[in-house]
Chain A
């Protein structure tokens, strides 16, 4: 049975898609059959892998599940790593999910896929919507990138409150520090404050702010595909190792 890992942030621009792409790539390199489901209508993850969705694929096919989803999965350029590309019509996914019984619709869809993969990564759209709520129920883990600023901490607290209010399992939430600039005093202070705080359970390995990660939009490849020894590749690999250990221990 595959473990489902959602990469999620209420805020945009925090390195969420970069984390999805690079963590999934690290999982595949480590020998695990891995699938990325690009659920963000912007389709950035699909773009990084140079994959376009089939013209006929969209939110309706996604919600039909089963074969309709399976036949739209595409192989990336990397062994063991597949992707279900995003469709622009996902922007209206909320409308399709709009009846009361729909909070577990996505969970059912991903359940069908778990036999074929070891890990399924979900690249989620930002904001708290019916889609994200579905994702919180479908995912085994919700990994949250946080830039170490006061505002980021606030949104993380909001997310934890939302989980509590909706009676979701708060232990699913695993935050990590993203786009960290150690030369900035604020980043250092916030990290120093939060790293040990038991209510947040931050991962130990941060992802630094690196031009190499920004350049992914040009190279259109995971950072480790270019040079596996680069600082960015190493940072994601170490983050993945820590996350994988956490997942295996349970």
Chain B
């Protein structure tokens, strides 16, 4: 990529002579010299959901190791040595500017090798009468090839194996303080009607057949007058696609986020089936229990993933002298995770899972109640317009949340808050499904209030669940015999320390509840969606 700020890059056709622009500049009176041509090879990396590209970053590995660039201006953020693989997560890189810039962007996601780039470049220096460099122009031929590897989680491109045509670009690299030569070069190029490439990397990825939109978590846009069944199907099909998209990454165990996204889509599918009532036929009922079973099979693995991801956070909660006590706990958790993963992966590769998904997919593709012949019964709400149904469902869920929430006082039992969390979740799902039916300025403030409330209740629940898990672990330690008495004491002390911290945090969150709920209750837009007489 370019290393100069303000460089402009244009896509050109293969028939444009590389020397065209330098010759024109020479005609304008500049001294033009060609530098030695260069060839560079690099491999580009990104996460499955394109986090680097989304943040305007680019990670390339070339002859000199890894380099992290700005995708637009080619500004370098950092380098790290490294020839072969082994740099999957940000913590695999040595501490330094590269890792610092990378970590907040990719978080727990793995870096996947995506494409190999071979750039052949010819470069001309344009100099003025003082023989001062005032502009560089570069002609580049880019050969790109998708990296082929066994566990690649991306869908295979439709086109087949043929290598894509090379791309050609023209780059103008201005020198600070010398604007005229650049203006003249741009004027020369103007009749050619070139298209500037602002984000070459995205262009290259698409060129080799990657779908940059596939992993997008946005919900589908619904039409207010759609039949409810059509809206429900649109939502369910989207979730189905997300689930299928993440399968390969789960089975290859690339990072924990594949399973997480898979499970979110799974939960949304189940929620859509139960929240949008009477739109699917009775024959679709068994899918609900099959999806529930699918969720159950991955519950423990996800729990373990979360604990392991929080390893550092847990360590930080403890004073240094207690931190070592956590290590045996985490190694036990990691071992269990290994077993749970194998179990799930084996099942997902098996016939039963594939059959369930195939049948579910077939149903979603073929269910068309609006095409039903006369005399064939369709579910009561299937053909009703979706907007009034959505309004009604949101108002009802909102009302329930208000009633239950108002009943909660400082002395209410924890269970009341757990129940309220579920009410809150139901409302959130409705927002997720139906938000596109309402003007954004009306629904977004309400969604944000609900989200804050759900965050509060969710944190309360998380702290509770984590303490439960630790108590279980403590009990299991006690039963495990006294082989490692010293390790046992350290582990117990660490667990005790953690439970203390977590319960204090839980208390803090509990105290925030009243304020958060009041903000939700008093939100002006809430009254619009859920008027109480």
Show the binding face of A for B, using Cβ within 8 Å. Answer: 49-52, 71-77, 79, 82, 220
Contact = CB atoms under 8 A, between A and B. Distances in A.
Interface string B119-132: 00000000000111
Given A72-B177, A74-B175, A79 B3 contact: yes
B176 A73 contact: yes
B178 interface: yes
Given A75-B175, A76-B133, 14 more contacts: A49-B132, A50-B130, A50-B131, A52-B130, A71-B177, A72-B177, A73-B176, A73-B177, A74-B176, A75-B174, A77-B133, A77-B175, A79-B4, A82-B177
A49 B133 CA distance: 9
Main secondary structure of the interface of B (DSSP, over half): loop
Interface in B112-163: 130-133
B418 to A, nearest CB: 51
Contacts of B175: 74-75, 77
Interface string B9-53: 000000000000000000000000000000000000000000000
B18 to A, nearest CB: 22
B101 to A, nearest CB: 16
19 contacts: A49-B132, A50-B131, A51-B130, A51-B132, A51-B177, A72-B177, A73-B177, A74-B175, A74-B176, A74-B177, A75-B175, A75-B177, A75-B178, A76-B133, A77-B133, A79-B3, A79-B4, A82-B177, A220-B131
Contacts of A82: 176-177
Interface string B356-399: 00000000000000000000000000000000000000000000
A77 B130 CA distance: 12
A50 B132 contact: yes
A220 B132 CA distance: 10
Nearest to B133: A77
Interface residues of B, number: 11
Contacts of A220: 131
A74 B134 CA distance: 10
Contacts of B174: 75
A73 B178 CA distance: 10
Nearest to B177: A74
A62 to B, nearest CB: 15
Contacts of B176: 73-75, 82
A52 B132 CA distance: 10
A75 B178 CA distance: 8
A52 B134 CA distance: 12
Nearest to A82: B176
Contacts of B3: 79
B96 to A, nearest CB: 13
Nearest to B134: A75
Nearest to B176: A75
Contacts of B177: 51, 71-75, 82
Contacts of B178: 74-75
Contacts of A75: 133, 174-178
Contacts of B130: 50-52
Contacts of A79: 3-4
B79 to A, nearest CB: 9
A50 B130 CA distance: 6
A66 B74 CA distance: 26
Contacts of A77: 132-133, 175
B373 to A, nearest CB: 72
Nearest to B175: A75
Nearest to A50: B132
Nearest to A53: B177
Nearest to B179: A71
A51 B129 CA distance: 11
Nearest to A54: B177
Contacts of A72: 177
A71 B175 CA distance: 12
B110 to A, nearest CB: 29
Residue from A71, A72, A74 having most chain B Cβ neighbours under 10 A? A74
Contacts of B133: 75-77
Residue from A73, A74, A75, A220 having most chain B Cβ neighbours under 10 A? A75
B31 to A, nearest CB: 12
A228 to B, nearest CB: 16
Residue from A50, A71, A79, A220 having most chain B Cβ neighbours under 10 A? A50
A82 B4 CA distance: 13
A79 B177 CA distance: 14
